[in-house]
């Protein structure tokens, strides 16, 4: 770490592990600190205020001046753009110099190791990924690798999910590394790829908050979760406390929770849910009736099911 740049701003050699971001302005957040990548390290502010952001942006512009000519290849250019080191005119200059905007639509898939997998070297992902010449693998940090995948005509988000799951399975079988994957939305410009990367990182963060244990998280499929994650903590806590009475907490054990979310995944269809759970339809009806008695919500009614889903998805401030 260097000396103080400002009364409340200093520089770190690298991004702290577990930092969340980048946000729409390219900033990361960690333990109440504001972080901004630059080519000379990471600027850190101990307070998160608009004036601090302005100061840090100015410092980065001064540090990044002339850095375009020091970039040697496309991988480094993409890394600077995706990580937020290069923004605005600098990102545009890099895109022009290395012909990054070639008319192809791409999206960002962000890979991170999970469990005790350790690190994910880009070379290992590159060895198993079926890439075209105009697709790229970029290392943002030792734990974050980005695949810029070309979007083919007619492909859907389900196709992206299938591709990611297959690649994850191949990576695990070939290297033993288990990963979780976040997927952003598509675009054609370098600036959109930075946004897609930020979306994929947000999908990982929010997806694991609400659906921990899944392997792939699609940004566009997490709209409700993204809305709820932006609620002020005190508002979320207020409505969680109203809903989660002692009786509701006792009711919603693992079996009942699995029943409810299987019912939701089966589009409130009783017969399909009973088959999926390997239970008699009367057993399922009994459980739904029990939920209605305790909560006052009949999950067979669409409006009640939506309300139940929202209330049970509210972030638990004690855990997050």
Q: Is the pLDDT of residue 115 over 70?
A: no
**CA–CA distance, 60 with 43 (Å, rounded to integer):** 8
Percent of the chain topping pLDDT 90: 45
| Assigned CATH for 89-226 | 3.30.70.270
Q: Please compute the mean of the pLDDT values over residues 61-69 and round it to a whole number.
A: 56
Residue 5 binned pLDDT confidence (cut-offs 50, 70, 90): very low
Task: Specify whether the backbone of 84 is left (phi greater than 0), alpha (psi in -120 to 50) or beta.
Answer: left
Average model confidence (pLDDT) across the chain: 85
Place of tokens 């940090």: 141
**Domains 89-226 and 231-313 fall in the same CATH topology:** no
CB atoms within 10 A of CB 12: 15
Please report the pLDDT score of residue 35 as a whole number: 83
Helical H runs in the chain? Answer: 50-64, 74-83, 88-97, 122-128, 157-175, 190-210, 223-229, 233-243, 246-251, 254-265, 270-277, 281-295, 302-313
Q: Is the pLDDT of residue 166 over 50?
A: yes
Q: Is the pLDDT of residue 67 over 60?
A: no
**36-40, 80-84, 231-235, 273-277: least confident range:** 36-40
CATH of 231-313, one of 1.10.10.2840, 1.25.40.340, 3.90.105.10, 2.60.40.1260: 1.10.10.2840
Residue 26 binned pLDDT confidence (cut-offs 50, 70, 90): confident
Confidence (pTM): 0.71
Residue spans per domain, the chain: 9-65, 89-226, 231-313
């Amino acid at each position: 770490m260097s000396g103080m740049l400002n009364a409340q701003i200093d520089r770190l050699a690298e991004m702290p592990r577990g930092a969340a971001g980048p946000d729409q302005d390219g900033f990361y957040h960690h333990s109440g600190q504001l972080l901004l990548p630059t080519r000379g390290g990471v600027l850190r502010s101990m307070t998160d205020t608009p004036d601090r952001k302005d100061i840090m942006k100015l410092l980065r512009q001064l540090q990044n001046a002339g850095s375009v000519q020091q970039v040697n290849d496309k991988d480094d250019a993409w890394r600077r753009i995706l990580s937020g080191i290069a923004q605005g005119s600098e990102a545009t200059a890099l895109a022009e110099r290395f012909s990054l905007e070639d008319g192809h639509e791409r999206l960002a898939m962000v890979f991170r190791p999970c469990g005790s997998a350790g690190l994910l070297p880009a070379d290992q992902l590159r060895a198993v990924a079926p890439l075209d010449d105009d697709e790229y693998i970029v290392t943002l940090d030792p734990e974050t690798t980005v695949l810029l995948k070309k979007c083919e005509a007619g492909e859907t988000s389900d196709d992206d999910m299938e591709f990611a799951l297959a690649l994850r399975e191949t990576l695990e079988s070939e290297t033993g590394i288990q990963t979780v994957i976040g997927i952003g939305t598509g675009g054609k410009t370098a600036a959109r790829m930075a946004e897609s990367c930020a979306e994929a990182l947000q999908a990982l963060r929010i997806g694991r908050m609400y659906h921990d244990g899944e392997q792939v998280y699609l940004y566009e499929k997490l709209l409700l979760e993204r809305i709820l994650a932006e609620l002020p903590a005190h508002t979320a806590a207020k409505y969680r406390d109203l809903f989660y009475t002692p009786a509701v907490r006792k009711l919603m054990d693992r079996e009942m929770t699995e029943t409810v979310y299987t019912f939701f995944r089966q589009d409130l269809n009783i017969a399909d849910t009973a088959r999926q759970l390997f239970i008699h339809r009367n057993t399922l009806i009994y459980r739904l009736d029990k939920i209605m008695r305790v909560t006052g919500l009949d999950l067979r009614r669409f409006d009640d099911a939506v309300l139940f889903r929202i209330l049970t998805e509210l972030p638990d401030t004690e855990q997050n």
